[in-house]
Amino acid sequence: MPTLPRFDHYIAGASVPPSSGEYLPTEDPYSGEVWAEVARGNAADAEKAVEAASRAFESGPWPAMTPSERGRLLWRLADVITANAERLAVIEQRDNGKLAVEVTAQVRYMADYFRYYAGLADKVQSSVIPTDKKGVFAYTKYEAKGVVAIITPWNSPLTLTSWKLAPALAAGCTAVVKPSEFTSGSMVEFAKLFAEAGFPPGVVNVVTGLGPEVGEALVLHPKVPHIGFTGGTAAGKKIYEMAARHLKTVTLELGGKSPNIVFDDADLDQAVKGVVSGIFAASGQSCQAGSRLLVQESIHDRFIDKLLAFMKDVKLGDPKAPDTQVGPIATRPQFEKVMGYIEIAKKEGARVVLGGKSRPDLGAGQFVEPTILTGVRNDMRIAQEEVFGPVLSVIPFRDEADALRIGNDTVFGLAAAVWTKDLKRAMLMTDKLKAGTVWVNNYRATSFTSPFGGYKESGIGRESGTETIKEYLDTKCVWMSS
Ligand code: NAD
């Protein structure tokens, strides 16, 4: 039997096998084949990685570098990413089954994240503070927090890691990354590229394995002062509780149930495209998915007809094929979860007007048809809980006040969108929607330039943009007198 590719931990600049000797299988979500094995880490492996990151933070070339020197390394890394983008994308695509074009574009775009923070590394300025004390002056100084633990999910592994790693490194921190057990390969290979860009060993380390076995060990480790986590709200709350016990800081990017609100004065053809990409891109496996379509009563039936017409010839299939529009669900448990939610919705009284079934005839059968449910009330589970799949719940509303009431009636607050040509209406909605991102007449725009994060149970802290670097810095106030 041919041996499978193996992804070991990457610690202090070298591949390190798991101390348990055990590996986890990694499946290709389209074919269902086990195509690789990933080291099953444990607390001992987490310890080795944190020690390596801590050594790199305290001694050697990394702490001696000026911010400009760190910036130059990050810039070089961006070029190395571009040179290796295709190879990394192939691994990541195999792991999570996203459309190949989508993953390739995401990995290429990652280079720009590192360039942005390369430029920012030497632009974090502190201040001299005029005080009320005579003969003494005070100034602030920003200092890197230390070893950062970065824990990420399977839907966009490298992108979501970069959102944390680029500002953390620009700030002068070192890192231990724990990727999802389902999609670790691309991160392990990415970590090896840091040496090529000139980073000292130990600045970026990877330990792979399960959340409770290796993720918790990182969160609880006394030498880790900050945790950057993206994942589900349940795991996020657990991590927050563990971090709180030791007063560690966190950035948490969690789930969503975002409302996509279409008014009767909107450009309906434009809105249809935004609603479709909002929920069906990445087969709905996206934190910012616009999973609740709030549509004004007066255009409800017309808009649904337009949506159905737009979705008529949508092509499901092999995510590597260039004409495929909807790929498989990334993992078997997630597939079961999405199908389970469609059944729950039907029992709650929702009506399936598109899809609603799995597709056992495609690949290994891990496909859910793009599904549109009408007759949904906002108090149903299908409207309140994150499905993380290609399932759109349609809820009618009367006017702005009704749209705001329904839109904000959720424990989440990651994103929202409004489709209207009325500027006054757009301004009212953007003011009153409780979400970290609000789009007007578009959906999904995100960039390294602009903060992203959640209100309420969608998270704590922001990623991207200039402010994010402060998540990785402590502020010291120095009082000087002669
Ligand atoms: P998950 O919470 O199951 O796992 C995420 C990561 O946390 C994995 O690496 C996992 O091993 C680890 N983990 C799990 N339990 C842990 C624990 N007790 N201690 C430490 N680590 C632990 O999430 P998932 O299923 O991989 O990803 C899907 C979720 O991610 C969705 O809820 C989605 O909304 C969210 N997400 C959020 C954003 C955002 O920016 N807000 C982006 C993408 C995905």
Tens digits of residue pLDDT in 432-473 = 999 999 999 999 999 999 999 999 999 999 999 999 999 999
The C-alpha atoms of residue 32 and residue 21 are separated, in whole angstroms, by 24
Taking the centre of ligand 1 as the mean of its atom positions, its distance from the CA of residue 194, in whole angstroms, is 25
Q: Which tokens is 219 given? A: 């969160």
Which of 113, 180, 221, 237 has the most ligand 1 atoms within 8 A of CB, as the residue to mutate? 180
| Phi, psi angles (nearest 5°) of residue 475 | -105, 125
Nearest Cα to Cα of residue 429 among 445, 446, 408: 408
Give the atom of ligand 1 at the shortest distance from the alpha carbon of 232: 32
Is residue 25 within 8 Å of 182, Cβ to Cβ?
no
| Phi, psi angles (nearest 5°) of residue 150 | -120, 120
- Side-chain half-sphere exposure of 263, counting CA atoms within 13 A: 21
Q: Is the pLDDT of residue 2 over 80?
A: no
Using a pLDDT cut of 70, give the percent of the chain over it: 100
pLDDT confidence bin for 12, thresholds 50/70/90: very high
Predicted TM-score (pTM) above 0.90: yes
456 CB less than 6 Å from ligand 1? no
For the chain, how are helix, strand and coil distributed in percent, rounded to 5?
40, 20, 35
The whole-number pLDDT of residue 1 equals: 57
| Phi, psi angles (nearest 5°) of residue 326 | -130, 125
Alpha helices in 281-399 (DSSP H): 300-310, 332-348, 381-384
Taking the centre of ligand 1 as the mean of its atom positions, its distance from the CA of residue 229, in whole angstroms, is 7
The C-alpha atoms of residue 377 and residue 394 are separated, in whole angstroms, by 8
The C-alpha atoms of residue 126 and residue 473 are separated, in whole angstroms, by 11
Q: Which tokens is 39 given? A: 């080291």
The C-alpha atoms of residue 276 and residue 340 are separated, in whole angstroms, by 22
Cβ neighbours of residue 301 closer than 8 Å, sequence gap 6 or more: none
Q: E strands along 219-350, which residues?
A: 226-230, 249-253, 259-262, 292-296
Task: Give me the sheet containing 473-481, strands edge to edge.
Answer: 128-129, 136-144, 473-481
Is residue 367 within 8 Å of 329, Cβ to Cβ?
yes
Tens digits of residue pLDDT in 277-313 = 999 999 999 999 999 999 999 999 999 999 999 999 9
Torsion of CA 18, 21, 22, 27, to 10 degrees: 70
Is residue 392 within 8 Å of 303, Cβ to Cβ?
no
239 CB less than 6 Å from ligand 1? yes
Confirm whether 253 is a catalytic residue.
yes
pLDDT confidence bin for 482, thresholds 50/70/90: confident
41 CB less than 6 Å from ligand 1? no
The C-alpha atoms of residue 71 and residue 76 are separated, in whole angstroms, by 9
Tens digits of residue pLDDT in 86-114 = 999 999 999 999 999 999 999 999 999 99
The C-alpha atoms of residue 199 and residue 248 are separated, in whole angstroms, by 26
Mean pLDDT of the 48-67 span: 98
Protein residue with least CA distance to atom 43, ligand 1 = 287
Specify the DSSP element, H or E, that contains 129.
strand 128-129
253 CB less than 6 Å from ligand 1? yes
Mean pLDDT of the 193-198 span: 98
Is residue 255 within 8 Å of 412, Cβ to Cβ?
yes
The whole-number pLDDT of residue 73 equals: 98
Mean pLDDT of the 397-409 span: 98
The whole-number pLDDT of residue 194 equals: 98
27, 92, 213, 253: the catalytic one is 253
Average pLDDT, the chain: 97
